[in-house]
Amino acid sequence: MGYLTIDSLTKKYGDLTAVKSINLKIKQGEMVALLGGSGCGKTTILRMIAGFIEPNAGTVSINGKVMNNIPAYKRNVGIFFQNYALFPHMTVIENVEFSLKLKKMKKAEIKEKVEYILGLVKLEGKGDSYPRQLSGGQQQRVALARALVMEPDVLLLDEPLSNLDSKLRQEMQVEIKRIQKKLKLTTIIVTHDQEEAVSLANRVVIMNEGEIEQIGEPGEVFNHPAHPFVAEFMGFSNFMEGKIVRKEGKEIQIEVAEGKVMNQSYDRADELAVGDAVVLTIRPEAVLISKTEEDGYAQGKIVNMTYKGHNTMVDILSSFNEKVQAINVDMVLPKEGESIYFAFPSDKVIIYKK
């Protein structure tokens, strides 16, 4: 029994099923990331937990108590909105103390709590400013403080870092993690950024079209995605479809096109059999490239190179007419149009049965 339990939760909008019978159990103090593209239902789940929308079926329970018929304002679920949703007519302090005043807390107690929380998000001295006078990062921390000060049973973060520049983003990632641990908050974070999900959460839930594709620890989902969809979401590319035509120990041969066969060694080759239709994938940064022919390398031609600052994306057309993407960090590369050799290391490829 989880602290926050979602049981066959379903939400339909007309013919469209936004959330399809989702089950999820979250332990107290755990931080779980809901990861998925836009329209995958992750925000809908968040809004059902907060109580803003009613599920068509299924239940949300917090600490063993079914929440379905309890209105949002009685749930004690803190939510951080993607656009912050700060009250523009209230100062930082008024925004933060909003929930405490409603609880009819004593003035001195409110003051103490607000000061503590503003210190925690490093906003001392900004209490009398209005949201419009603050920078995006500061507004975001006010929104976080406002959700934290009510000491919520569950904290929901909706794309908390999406509007920030990369430096502020990293700072806030550290901050959120630190505060979440310190206050031992049961937290759900919704994001479309796989790096954000794996760096913040204890567990990652990958969603697609209203369904859960995979649940696992960050390392697990990042390195061992369960389906090609999850793999693509986790940054895998070079998807190649084919059929296994020969297998000897770790060495397998995949026919990627009529008469075109690719040799590949694979650590988990025993899961596969000759005749299986498969999809092979590997991250571009795991592809080995070389200017000279080496053992186990295949030949190809550079068709395009994109310089990205700290690395270069190399698009290769292989001799069996497949497109291969590799990331090169510091090698001096041949020119576009010239030939190059590449290999997929046996421990870095994943082969899915279709």
Partner 1 sequence: MKTKKKILFLALPALVTLLTVFIIPMIYTFIEGIATDKLDFYIKFCTDPFYLSILGNTAILSVKTTVLCLILGYPTAYFLARTQSKIKSALLIATIFPFLISAVVRAYGWMVLLGSNGLVNHFLMAVGLVDEPVKIMYTEKAVMIGLTQLLLPYMILSIMSVIQSIDSNLEDAASSLGANPLTTFLKVIFPLSAPGVVSGCTLVFTLSMTSYVTPRLLGGAQYLTVSTFIYSQVKTAFNMPFANAISYVLVFAILLFQVFSNSANHYVSKKVGGV
- Where do contacts with partner 1 occur on this chain (CB under 8 A)? 47, 50-52, 71-79, 81, 83, 85-89, 98-99, 102-103, 130-132, 146-147, 150
The residue among 334, 277, 331, 281 whose CA lies nearest residue 303 is 334
Q: Which is nearer to partner 1, 147 or 172 (CB)?
A: 147
Min. distance of Cβ 169 from partner 1 in angstroms? 21
Tokens of 92: 């930082």
Q: Which is nearer to partner 1, 81 or 239 (CB)?
A: 81
Name every residue whose Cβ is closer than 8 Å to that of residue 307 and which is 6 or more positions away in sequence: none
Name every residue whose Cβ is closer than 8 Å to that of residue 222 and which is 6 or more positions away in sequence: 194, 198, 234
Min. distance of Cβ 188 from partner 1 in angstroms? 13
Name every residue whose Cβ is closer than 8 Å to that of residue 131 and which is 6 or more positions away in sequence: 84, 86, 87, 88, 90, 92, 95, 139, 142
Q: Which is nearer to partner 1, 85 or 305 (CB)?
A: 85
Min. distance of Cβ 14 from partner 1 in angstroms? 11
Min. distance of Cβ 51 from partner 1 in angstroms? 8
Q: Which is nearer to partner 1, 77 or 244 (CB)?
A: 77
Min. distance of Cβ 306 from partner 1 in angstroms? 38
Taking the C-alpha atoms of residue 145 and residue 143, their distance in angstroms, rounded to an integer, is: 5
Q: Which is nearer to partner 1, 53 or 215 (CB)?
A: 53
The residue among 231, 235, 205, 237 whose CA lies nearest residue 218 is 205
DSSP character at residue 332: P
Q: Do the bridges between strand 65-66 and strand 57-62 make them parallel or antiparallel, or are there none, so unpaired?
A: antiparallel
Q: Which is nearer to partner 1, 106 or 132 (CB)?
A: 132
Q: Which is nearer to partner 1, 47 or 247 (CB)?
A: 47
Number of Cβ within 10 Å of residue 57's Cβ equals 12
Min. distance of Cβ 103 from partner 1 in angstroms? 7
321 Rama class: left (phi>0) / alpha (psi -120 to 50) / beta: left
The upper half-sphere exposure of residue 10, i.e. CA atoms within 13 Å in the direction of its Cβ, equals 11
CB 272 within 8 A of CB 247: yes
Min. distance of Cβ 287 from partner 1 in angstroms? 43
Min. distance of Cβ 132 from partner 1 in angstroms? 5
Percentages of the chain per state (helix, strand, coil), in multiples of 5: 25, 35, 35
CB 222 within 8 A of CB 198: yes
Min. distance of Cβ 64 from partner 1 in angstroms? 21
Q: Which is nearer to partner 1, 6 or 100 (CB)?
A: 100
Q: Which is nearer to partner 1, 49 or 234 (CB)?
A: 49
